[in-house]
Amino acid sequence: MANKIIPSVKGTRDFYPETMAVRTWLYRQMRAASEAFGYQEYDGPFLEPIALYAAKSGEELVKEQAFVFPDRGGDLITLRPELTPTLARMVARKQGQLAFPLRWWSFGPFWRYERPQKGRAREFFQWNIDMLGVNSPEADAELAAVGAEFFRRAGLTPNEVHILVNNRRLMDSRLDALEIPPARRKAVFRLIDRREKMSAAAWETYAGEIGLSPAQLGGLKALLADERLWEQSEELVRFFAAARALGARDYLRYAPHVIRGLDYYTGTVFEARDRDGEFRAILGGGRYDNLVADVGGKPLPGVGFAMGDMVVTLVLQKYGRLPALDAPPAPILVTVFDADHLLEAYRLAAEVRREGFPVAAYPEPAKLGKQFKYAARIGARLVLVVGPDELAQQAVTVKNLRTREQTTLPRDALFQHLHAMLAT
RNA sequence: GUGGCUGUAGCUCAAGUGGCAGAGCACCUGACUGUGGAUCAGGAUGUUGUGGGUUCAAGUCCCAUCAGCCACCCCA
């Protein structure tokens, strides 16, 4: 029994119908938000050569976190840890044939060999959405607006989640002003990224370790405290103006400490969080120029974001926004009175199906009590019975499990009755 | 990859300082030889995550391992 069940692979999840319904529902909201802005769905292979990721991505993502294994021919295969390189290749291959600005979105599984924990598994689903071929703050704002649209459709309000925005070029120019050399830029970005995770003292010590002078540290702290820093960036000024016009401004907020981990972001970056800061980022994205050139295409600017299925589900649970997803497999169950009436029951089930109702038929003769109990278990609303009495009068018995009312009616009146009973 | 907590029937959990493994819910059967979620009466269930070790004796102690959770790392 239990000791014989082969365990699932670490960090993977079994999607029972209830959780599968959540995944499907998320997919539907993502689709709705994407298509509302004119984005087309696409997908790539789940298996990719490791070389695709060697070109870019964060080094750790490929070296430490990707599932890599040799296929039977000896080639190294990767279970895709992210979609962006695949997107870059797909675009590079047909660059001359595609209409830009290109708006594409996707939802599918990804794999990363990490230690599972809250909001993070080794196999997860992710929504990716990108616009390629333009380099405008307005395009950036549109992507943020798509994210906001998703939250709105999912029932998450600006009081519960927000999208924090910053711009790397802005931060670069400010760091220039502090005379922090480009060589140290990466370390300083990491420092900024970790501000809220460390104590103030530890953070300042860390700043000293990466070579910041007290004056530079002071300047940096002033930067990170300046909520109006964005007003000095023409890109961000236009970004917020466009977001306002798009009706997404209430979800957006400038946040000087948001910098994002991935190296390839070049301009505006953003991430969504629950406002209590309880969970990790719900989505993350930004402008990444030169991506397509990295895989051999012509240079092409782009902006996009990714949202995993796990954190957003936690947030939706926290705020009680997951809809009741307990739809029964079928609202109608046809019982099998006994072995002699099995085919009669099946003929009835087929007729009702042809009328357009989803119908489950009991798959073998069994006591009616057992079949009624089963009907109640699966959440069926109506139970149909054709036994000897009904057959003799060309009738069907219909029991409404909610009201417990039962009537026997002629077959030609059945459909009308079913429509009426299931209408509410 | 580093550190911490946890692991007992399908589920939630019990089993003073080591002494023959239990309850509730759920499940199955029957009362109800044409009817459900109610009631009542019965019933089945675990090599206590796995593998070693200490002991006369281990769910209970020790070691290892696996899994889950949490933090770090990284990020969705």
Burial A48-71 (b: 16+ CB within 10 A, else e): beeebbeebbbeebbeebbbbeee
Distance measured from the CA of protein residue A274 to the C1' of nucleotide B61, in angstroms: 45
**Which residue's CA shows the smallest distance to C1' of B28?**
A370
Tell if A11 CB is < 7 Å from nucleic strand B: yes
Say whether both A124 and A177 belong to one domain: yes
Tell if A186 CB is < 7 Å from nucleic strand B: no
- Nearest nucleotide by C1' position to the A369 CA atom: B35
Q: Are A29 and A149 in contact (CB under 8 A)?
A: no
How confident is the model over A10-50, as pLDDT tens digits? 888 888 888 888 899 999 999 999 999 999 999 999 999 98
Say whether both A265 and A314 belong to one domain: yes
The CATH number of the domain holding residue A41 is 3.30.930.10
Does residue A294 lie in a domain region?
Answer: yes
Does residue A323 lie in a domain region?
Answer: no
DSSP state of A135: -
Q: Which residues from the 366-385 window of protein chain A have CB within 7 angstroms of nucleic acid chain B?
A: 367-370, 372-373, 375-377, 383, 385
Tell if A328 CB is < 7 Å from nucleic strand B: no
Say whether both A173 and A218 belong to one domain: yes
Determine the pLDDT at residue A157.
Answer: 95
Phi and psi for A287 in degrees, rounded to 5? Answer: -90, 130
Domain boundary among A250, A285, A318: A318
Tell if A7 CB is < 7 Å from nucleic strand B: yes
How confident is the model over A293-342, as pLDDT tens digits? 777 778 889 999 999 999 999 899 888 888 776 667 889 999 999 989 99
Tell me the C-alpha distance between A176 and A180, whole Å. 6
How confident is the model over A90-112, as pLDDT tens digits? 999 998 999 999 999 999 999 99
- The separation between CA A16 and the C-alpha centre of its own chain, rounded to angstroms, equals 18
Q: Which residues from the 113-172 window of protein chain A have CB within 7 angstroms of nucleic acid chain B?
A: 114-121, 124, 126
Say whether both A284 and A414 belong to one domain: no
Domain boundary among A318, A353, A374: A318
Say whether both A179 and A69 belong to one domain: yes
Determine the pLDDT at residue A3.
Answer: 40
**Which residue's CA shows the smallest distance to C1' of B71?**
A117
Determine the pLDDT at residue A267.
Answer: 92
How many folded domains does chain A comprise?
2
Tell if A41 CB is < 7 Å from nucleic strand B: no
The CATH number of the domain holding residue A358 is 3.40.50.800
Angle at A179 between CA A174 and CA A181, to 5 degrees: 100
Domain of residue A340 covers 332-422
- Nearest nucleotide by C1' position to the A392 CA atom: B34
Q: Assess whether the previous peptide bond of A81 is cis (omega < 30° from 0).
A: no
Distance measured from the CA of protein residue A261 to the C1' of nucleotide B72, in angstroms: 16
Q: Tokens representing A392?
A: 């003799």
Distance measured from the CA of protein residue A314 to the C1' of nucleotide B42, in angstroms: 44
User: How far, CA to CA in Å, does A317 sit from each of A109, A120, A123, A310, A349?
Assistant: 21, 16, 20, 11, 38
Q: Tokens representing A19?
A: 């959780």
Determine the pLDDT at residue A197.
Answer: 75
How confident is the model over A265-296, as pLDDT tens digits? 889 999 999 988 888 899 999 998 877 777 77
